[in-house]
Amino acid sequence: VVVGVRMWRHSSEHKKWNGTGSTAHFQEIALERCYNYTQLVQPELRDRDCQKIREAFRNAFISKDPCSATEEDYHPLLKLVKQTVPCDKTVFWSKTKELAHQYTKVQREMFTLEDTLLGYIADDLRWCGDAGSYEMNYQSCPHWKKDCSNNFVSVFWDLLSKRFAENACGVAQVVLNGSISNAFDRKSTFGRVEVHNLNPMKVHTLQAWVIHDLGKFPSDSCSGSSINDLRWIVMQRNIKFTCHDNYSSVKFLQCVKKPEDSSCR
Ligand code: NAD
């Protein structure tokens, strides 16, 4: 009986946020992904210490108020995982995650953020702790809109996205979704963080690909007003901007999944 009461109190104490709780087995998944990446996906990183990386990741947020995350919390982790992406190989995306990842999976030398070690480890995971505990909170975590924007997951992605953009060089690419009304959205991570952190001394061109879902009516395109916004922002920053509707390499990927679509013939 005593154990039951304690467990009940424990979980009710923790269910205080509106977002989904930490991913079950977060520690194990992070460690396994780290080994998979450093030993198999990018063996040039085989010397990275995954135990240390896992530990640094955990230390960034454990025993802290989950609504008071700062960039500094992640600095030790980022220091441990320095990784450079070759020039011309950076791919950003916004509302096109699956497609962008399919693209870099085929174009093995291209990198989205999730094709770098930290992005690879954290993709689709959730994590938060609690100021009064050494445990992760698996019951609930702050929702970025309903609770707080400076939660550990949002701060992590904003920081990683910023670094990823700062480090880009040569031509950078972005895959945008032409089947929604604003292919470019100033409030997205791409529009809010990545575009503004491209370094004009290093990136000479941003190449946008606006992709329409097969069988859906195109809602936006290179000539639409949202892409014009993007063109304006990028050109203001002294970076050349090009845009292409339905890039054929990406189109072929869509057609592998849906060969019967009329536009695939
Ligand atoms: P998007 O709108 O498609 O969002 C991508 C994902 O991030 C979605 O699951 C969204 O719910 C989540 N997200 C966005 N802003 C968030 C925030 N402040 N807090 C918590 N979750 C948030 O596209 P986007 O916003 O332009 O982000 C994509 C770009 O930014 C990519 O270029 C990538 O480099 C980077 N990024 C990746 C992730 C990821 O989960 N892998 C998350 C954020 C940003």
**What ipTM was estimated for this complex?**
0.94
| Nearest CA owner, ligand 1 atom 14 | 189
* CA pseudo-torsion sign 111, 115, 118, 122: positive
Output the pLDDT for position 248. 85
pLDDT digits (tens, 9 = 90+) for 144-168: 999 999 999 999 999 999 999 999 9
Q: Indicate if the pLDDT at residue 129 is higher than 80.
A: yes
Which of 33, 189, 233 for mutating ligand 1's site (highest number of atoms within 8 Å of CB)? 189
Q: Whose CA is nearest to atom 9 of ligand 1?
A: 124
Q: Is the CB of 152 under 6 A from ligand 1?
A: no
Instruction: Say what the pLDDT of residue 251 is.
Output: 86
For the ranges 89-93, 140-144, 247-251, which has the lowest average pLDDT? 247-251
Residue of 67, 112, 126, 157 best suited for mutating to test ligand 1, as the one with most atoms within 8 Å of CB: 157
The answer to whether 207 touches 242, Cβ cutoff 8 Å, is: yes
Q: Is 188 in the pocket of ligand 1 (CB under 6 A)?
A: yes
The predicted-structure confidence for 51-81, as pLDDT tens digits, reads as follows 999 999 999 999 999 999 999 999 999 999 9
Whether residue 8 has pLDDT greater than 50: no
C-alpha 202: how far from chain center: 22
**In the annotation, is 50 catalytic?**
no
Stretch 100-123: mean pLDDT? 96
Dist. CA 123–CA 40, nearest whole Å: 18
Cα-based distances in Å from 7 to 12, 15, 17, 22, 200? 9, 13, 18, 18, 55
CB–CB of 128/66 below 8 Å? yes
Q: Among 34, 141, 169, 222, which one carries the catalytic annotation?
A: 169
Q: How many CA atoms lie within 13 A of 124 on its CB side?
A: 6
Q: What is the structure's pLDDT at 3?
A: 52
Per-residue pLDDT, averaged over 120-127, amounts to 98
* CA 97 to centroid of ligand 1, rounded, Å: 9
State the pLDDT at residue 32: 98
Q: Whose CA is nearest to atom 30 of ligand 1?
A: 189
Instruction: Assess whether the C-beta atom of 156 lies below 6 angstroms from ligand 1.
Output: no
The whole-model pTM stands at 0.93
